[in-house]
Amino acid sequence: MWTTLVLLIALNVEDLSRSQLETYYWDCDAAFMKGEMGGQDLNSCLSVTEAFQKYFETREHFMMYWHEHRIQQWNNRGYYPAPDFI
């Protein structure tokens, strides 16, 4: 199921809104952190990540966004990092 969803997303990534890309980006990020991602999933998620990062002026802006939102977004998707990771 996850693989099919991610593959469909990657095939149509240019048709996704910023909001959809943001949701799929965090879905991918949380799945990666939980170890639920295979090879094809990773390729598809990289397409989503690249498309989403284009909404930020620089990589540094994206990384600031990621750092500020990662814990809440991961928690919303069932991933709870170890306290020393935070």
User: Residue 1 pLDDT > 50, yes or no?
Assistant: no
DSSP string, 4-61: HHHHHHHHTGGG--HHHHHHHHHHHHHHHHHT---HHHHHHHHHHHHHHHTTSSSHHH
Domain residue spans of the chain: 2-76
pLDDT tens digits for range 46-76: 888 999 999 999 999 999 999 999 999 999 9
- Average pLDDT of the chain, as a whole number: 86
pLDDT reading at 28 higher than 80:
yes
pTM (predicted TM-score): 0.83
pLDDT > 50? residue 12: yes
Q: What is the pLDDT of residue 2?
A: 58
Per-residue pLDDT for 37 more than 80? yes
- The pLDDT of residue 75: 95
Residue predicted with more confidence, 8 or 66: 66
